[in-house]
Structure 1
Amino acid sequence: MDWQKNLLIAAMVAVIILLVIRWEEFQERQALNTAAVAESQVSSARSDNDVPAVVTNDVPQPDVPGATPAQQATGQLIEVATDSLLVSIDPRGGDIVNVALPKHFAEVDTPDQPFVLVDNSGTKTYTAQSGLVGPNGTDSADGRPLFVSTDYNFQMADGAGSLQVDLTTEQDGVVITKRFTFYRGEYRVEVNYLINNASSSTWQAALYGQIKRDSHKPNTANGFGMQPFVGAALTTEDERYKKFSFDDLEDKSFKATVEGGWISMVQHYFISAWIPAQESKNQYYLRQQGNQDIFLMGFTSPLMSVAAGETKTFGAEFYAGPKDTEALEAIAPYLDLTVDYGWLWWMAKPLFSVLKYIHELIGNWGISIIALTIIIKAIFFKLSATSYRSMARMRKLAPKMKDLKERYGDDRQKMSQETMKLYRDEKVNPLGGCLPMLIQMPVFLALYWVLMESVELRHTPFLWMADLSVKDPIFILPLLMGFTMWLTMRLNPEPPDPMQAKIMKMMPVVFTFMFLWFPAGLVLYWVTNNTLSFLQQMIITRQIEKSESASA
């Protein structure tokens, strides 16, 4: 019995220590973010010398038709507005330098301020770059092309399904049009190059797309617990989903050649990604730019040739938006794995599918979480019942265990022998209460990650809470969680050791404190699970007590 309790207490202490460490890391990251902002303000004028290394320095700087010195000096951005995206495009290079999501607010109480995903402001570097490199490429280590467009403001018309924004430049008789195509209700943008080769020689270049970003990490509201991944991710020939933190890229660059594939920048709830042509072999790279706090995550497509007098089109897709599983699945194979459920993804994905199906029927995410928890408890009902019966029998043995402790407390060998004899006589399995619970743990951990990663919970109200993805503003759920945990522990057998008993009594208080900062959706799951566990255990305990009273 002692070894079992010691193991349980050791596991709980380990969990507490890990959570405290996570909290300290969270605080350190906040401090690092502040330092990174200060650093970026000092060195905001960074070089554009970040095109892929295949570019040679002898590529001539192209002439730009119709671009007056005044236009070049203003640096005016091209603004594009659709129902789901607000995008700013820099004419210099045709890069996407800002993406805001009007359907996702920055804060739940500021619906007039859209969430900004891509942000190349004075304090942050986060840009989606694309261009042409190679023999006739427009982008080189010496500079980027300047495009011109018919307007600086574009808005999708009511009822229109798409919007095209064309940027043009000219290079020695070759007219190059960089076309952005936006779609209603989508976060996907097609970026195509239309090459009209009116020159007398063959034109050759390769398309590249890359995400240029510093290492700042968005603020999260998770408090204690597992923190969402922030960093680069891609698919390779060997791994469907391979991710790199910024620390990984500081240590070592990465290169891979993949047929199709994608490259992404992942953070909590949201993602940006380049998806090149899936029928071609694309070269992917991840690296730090010099010693700066700048990281490049990109691809280079195979060399494209356009004969004299021909016109050809090639390009890629750029996604900037929420981690919507269905949308990402439709764009490219394995892109949906950026909804990172950890090593239990094979269990978490079906759980999320069930949760989403329940929501389609009910229409409320809070009630859907409760309903899914009930379904899971029903599936494990018999297994839990076995565990609770064992605990109830162990509780009945508490007085006898205490007596053994008083008689043989100083003789560990004799105490162990008498304890095992008591178990045999009473037909009690000391592991009967632990093993069924251990079998269920992977399911509950998977559900934890489902609720952690589901962007659908962001800014979703339930009862008095305006947002299930952040902490309960008045801490009712954490207090209920602690209360239900205390009720459940009262039904468990009390450890014979006084120190162990004190530690066990402190656990509800400790976990209540930690859960104060957990997202409300996760705490709602724990409250529901604890309540169901308490009710089931109480019923089973009373049934056993009545049965023993009747037999007596």
Structure 2
Amino acid sequence: MSTEGRFILALSLMFLVIWGTNKLFPPIFEEVPGTPADSSLLVGDTAAEQEEVAPAALSDLGAADPASAAAGDSAAPAPAQRPPARTIVVESPNYRFEFNSRGAALESAELLGYAALNGRDGAVQLLPEGVVSLSKSLVVGSDTLSLGDLDFSVEPADGLSLGEGSGPQTLTFTHAAAGFAVTLRYTFRPDDYLVDVAADVQGVDRPLMMTGLGRGLAFNEADSAQEARVMAWVGNHLNRGVRSTEMRKVERPELHDGPWQWAGVKSKYFVMAVLPGAETSEDGPYLGGVTTEPGLDEMRPQVSVTQAVATDGSLAYRLYLGPQEYSRLQALGADMEEVNPYGWKWLRPLIRPFVAITLWVLNFLHDNLNVGYGWVLVIFGVLMRVLLWPLNQKAMRAQMRNMAVQPMVKEIQTKYKDNPEKQQKEMMRLYKEYGFNPLAGCLPMLLPWPVLIALFFVFQNTIELRGVPFYWLPDLSAKDPFYILPLVLAVSMFFLQFISFRSMPEAGKNPQMKMMMYFMPPFFGFIFMQFPSGLNLYYATANLATIPQQMLIARERKAAARRGPVKLDRSKGKGDPANSKG
């Protein structure tokens, strides 16, 4: 069973426990129509228009390069010696990128601020071994020219070294042949993972430029099985919104027509995405189409993004190669923060506010108290129980009131079982006199649930918690390797139920209540064994912080049982069995 499945099961069981306890003791984007999936619509031009603006076949342009001249053509001059391919390094305190002068493709992308957690020494590597990214092709009509085998001159030839606090610097790749030239400019900033790209194509009128994003991202997490499940290509379509498709579900070549506001490939915590240029072009601030093609490995399909080159040969777009840090992605706009959304689609409208508030509180405590995220979770768990103390007090006292009048409820149900109207009337009278409400003890206890659900997804997606240790826990976003916290959670849950059980005189007569007390804690401990240790830390802390309140309520419950039901005196505000002196 997946982690998400376990979590759904745990929530369902929590609901059954709360509902069952109160039952027993005592409460009863619209898509634009008519858009065919045709490659001619990648940027909105028709095939006929593309043929009109293409004065020469791209295959001819490829042959203009010495490296692609026909070897058997005796009339052709002998090709010049090809320069050797060189590795061009761009380095800053945050990243280290390696480009190849042949094809101007990206061969390595290390994020120096994040360590690989899969046993490999060194920093996170975005590209799988042997896979290149940011390869370029030009498409006009049915002709395609790959730039992957062209030799580029590079300026500066030694690459770039961006020190902390330095300004933006540009790396330029240039290839020129007879009647054809292409220039690629990458502008980097030392403290940002966003790269500005400007291209200039001469010799071909308005081609499409296809940027390959390689074959997914490399594995960097300790749990590769979970990482494989979330490895996907993702994009925000102008009409259909954000969509995500797991890499292993790409089974055939497919064209996903635009316009797209952004598109990319992602792993659990990192993303490589293409976004339109900051300036609006004549074709609008959108990308064209996205093509996906399966590879030999089901986890390694090819993903490419297509854009239209302007009439003057220019093209501008942006690249993001970095962590799924919520604030960074949100600053990019176009719902980029939804690249790895929190929660299931049907639940996101409800969960988003709780996730935003929870993240803000965690980061606020972390930044202002100057403590690690482990202690932040402990403090957060205690604060939650302090804030919910009045609601829990009210809920438990409502349960006590309902338990006190339960014999009367059964008497009314038996006496007027053949007269529903009279039964309803007597039940309303009972509610007014004794404050009986079957749901009063249940609803306040459900309020912590949205926070628990929000925390589950926070630990699934939030990179700030990735690899953060806490005492024996090497990573708060991964499971407890020694299962200590699930055990503490189960024991604390049993202790809470035991205190409540001992304070209910009727509980010993009910075998279901006793079975729940002995069965549910170990079962929940088993379910939570695979959950992130940070979630276990929060939940166990919250349970331990609830024990003092549970003991106080147990005393009040025993005292109320000795007194029996007390009528409400609404004129004086008295009558609560928990407040009566007897």
- Structure 2 length as normaliser, TM-score? 0.69
1:207 paired to 2:209 = yes
Measured after TM superposition, the shift of residue 506 of structure 1 is 2.0
1:172 paired to 2:178 = yes
Residue 263 of structure 1 aligns with an amino acid whose one-letter code is A
Give distance in 2, aligned partners of 1:491 and 1:458: 37
Residue 204 of structure 1 aligns with an amino acid whose one-letter code is R
Give distance in 2, aligned partners of 1:130 and 1:468: 37
The structure 1 residue matched to 2:489, chosen from 481, 487, 502, is 481
The structure 2 residue matched to 1:90, chosen from 100, 103, 121, is 100
Other-structure match for 1:332: 333
Give distance in 1, aligned partners of 2:396 and 2:483: 29
Q: Contact 2:500–2:550 (CA<8 Å) still a contact in 1?
A: no
Other-structure match for 1:362: 369
Q: Deviations over 1:369-421 (max 9, x none)?
A: 233344444444433333222445577799x89xx9xxxxxxxx99xx9xx99
Unpaired segments of 5 or more residues in structure 1?
1-7, 17-51, 307-311, 405-412
Give distance in 2, aligned partners of 1:320 and 1:114: 14
1:525 paired to 2:538 = yes
1:268 paired to 2:268 = yes
The structure 2 residue matched to 1:543, chosen from 556, 561, 564, is 556
The alpha-carbon distance between structure 1 residues 206 and 142, as it changes in their structure 2 partners (threshold 3 A), is closer
Give distance in 1, aligned partners of 2:493 and 2:532: 18
Secondary structure of 2:176's aligned partner = strand
Residue 274 of structure 1 aligns with an amino acid whose one-letter code is V
**1:100-111 equivalence runs, <5 A:** 100-107=110-117
Q: Deviations over 1:240-284 (max 9, x none)?
A: 4222223554378452423x7110222212111111225224213
The alpha-carbon distance between structure 1 residues 283 and 130, as it changes in their structure 2 partners (threshold 3 A), is same
Give distance in 2, aligned partners of 1:292 and 1:267: 16
Measured after TM superposition, the shift of residue 484 of structure 1 is 1.5
Residue 193 of structure 1 aligns with an amino acid whose one-letter code is A
Give distance in 1, aligned partners of 2:190 and 2:82: 34
Other-structure match for 2:459: 451
Measured after TM superposition, the shift of residue 120 of structure 1 is 3.9
Residue 206 of structure 1 aligns with an amino acid whose one-letter code is L
The alpha-carbon distance between structure 1 residues 109 and 223, as it changes in their structure 2 partners (threshold 3 A), is closer
The alpha-carbon distance between structure 1 residues 162 and 289, as it changes in their structure 2 partners (threshold 3 A), is same
Q: Deviations over 1:98-150 (max 9, x none)?
A: 2111110013987x6101122243xxx5x432425234999626965332336
Q: Deviations over 1:463-495 (max 9, x none)?
A: 443422223344332222122211222234548
Give distance in 2, aligned partners of 1:483 and 1:98: 48
The structure 2 residue matched to 1:285, chosen from 263, 280, 290, is 290
Aligned residues: percent identity? 21
Q: Contact 1:169–1:175 (CA<8 Å) still a contact in 2?
A: yes
Give distance in 1, aligned partners of 2:319 and 2:10: 49
Give distance in 1, aligned partners of 2:133 and 2:148: 17
Give distance in 2, aligned partners of 1:269 and 1:442: 23
Secondary structure of 1:119's aligned partner = coil
Secondary structure of 1:318's aligned partner = strand
Other-structure match for 1:191: 197
Give distance in 1, aligned partners of 2:490 and 2:387: 25
Give distance in 2, aligned partners of 1:436 and 1:187: 44
Residue 152 of structure 2 aligns with an amino acid whose one-letter code is F
Give distance in 1, aligned partners of 2:403 and 2:310: 75
Give distance in 1, aligned partners of 2:217 and 2:556: 58
Other-structure match for 2:154: 149
Q: Deviations over 1:300-337 (max 9, x none)?
A: 2223222xxxxx65322211211111211222321112
Residue 468 of structure 1 aligns with an amino acid whose one-letter code is L
Residue 539 of structure 1 aligns with an amino acid whose one-letter code is L
Give distance in 2, aligned partners of 1:148 and 1:495: 84
**1:15-414 equivalence runs, <5 A:** 58=59, 60-61=61-62, 63-64=64-65, 71=83, 76-107=86-117, 113-121=122-130, 125=131, 127-135=132-140, 140=145, 144-149=149-154, 154-159=159-164, 160-195=166-201, 197=202, 203-213=205-215, 221=223, 229-246=230-247, 248-250=249-251, 253=254, 255-258=256-259, 261-277=261-277, 279=280, 280=284, 281-289=286-294, 293=298, 294-306=300-312, 313-342=314-343, 343=348, 344-363=351-370, 364-392=372-400
Q: Deviations over 1:181-231 (max 9, x none)?
A: 221122222222245x5xxx774333332323259876554999x997331
Give distance in 2, aligned partners of 1:79 and 1:227: 29
Unpaired segments of 5 or more residues in structure 2?
1-8, 18-41, 51-56, 68-78, 411-416, 502-506, 564-579
Secondary structure of 1:304's aligned partner = coil
Residue 162 of structure 1 aligns with an amino acid whose one-letter code is P
Residue 275 of structure 1 aligns with an amino acid whose one-letter code is L
Residue 209 of structure 1 aligns with an amino acid whose one-letter code is T
Give the number of equivalent residue pairs.
Answer: 481
Residue 134 of structure 2 aligns with an amino acid whose one-letter code is Q
Residue 177 of structure 1 aligns with an amino acid whose one-letter code is T
Other-structure match for 1:39: none
Other-structure match for 1:462: 470
Residue 190 of structure 1 aligns with an amino acid whose one-letter code is D
Secondary structure of 1:235's aligned partner = strand
Give distance in 2, aligned partners of 1:81 and 1:522: 36
The alpha-carbon distance between structure 1 residues 385 and 514, as it changes in their structure 2 partners (threshold 3 A), is same
The alpha-carbon distance between structure 1 residues 514 and 484, as it changes in their structure 2 partners (threshold 3 A), is same
Give distance in 1, aligned partners of 2:125 and 2:189: 19
The alpha-carbon distance between structure 1 residues 256 and 60, as it changes in their structure 2 partners (threshold 3 A), is same
Q: Deviations over 1:137-177 (max 9, x none)?
A: 99626965332336775341545333432222113244422
Measured after TM superposition, the shift of residue 64 of structure 1 is 4.9
Bigger shift: residues 227-236 or 145-154: 145-154
Secondary structure of 1:540's aligned partner = helix
Give distance in 2, aligned partners of 1:15 and 1:267: 35
Residue 362 of structure 1 aligns with an amino acid whose one-letter code is L
Give distance in 1, aligned partners of 2:363 and 2:177: 51
- Structure 1 length as normaliser, TM-score? 0.73
Give distance in 2, aligned partners of 1:216 and 1:114: 12
Q: Contact 1:137–1:204 (CA<8 Å) still a contact in 2?
A: no
The alpha-carbon distance between structure 1 residues 289 and 172, as it changes in their structure 2 partners (threshold 3 A), is farther
Q: Deviations over 1:417-443 (max 9, x none)?
A: 9xx99x979765443333223344223
Measured after TM superposition, the shift of residue 359 of structure 1 is 1.7
The alpha-carbon distance between structure 1 residues 362 and 546, as it changes in their structure 2 partners (threshold 3 A), is same
Measured after TM superposition, the shift of residue 63 of structure 1 is 4.6
The alpha-carbon distance between structure 1 residues 393 and 528, as it changes in their structure 2 partners (threshold 3 A), is farther
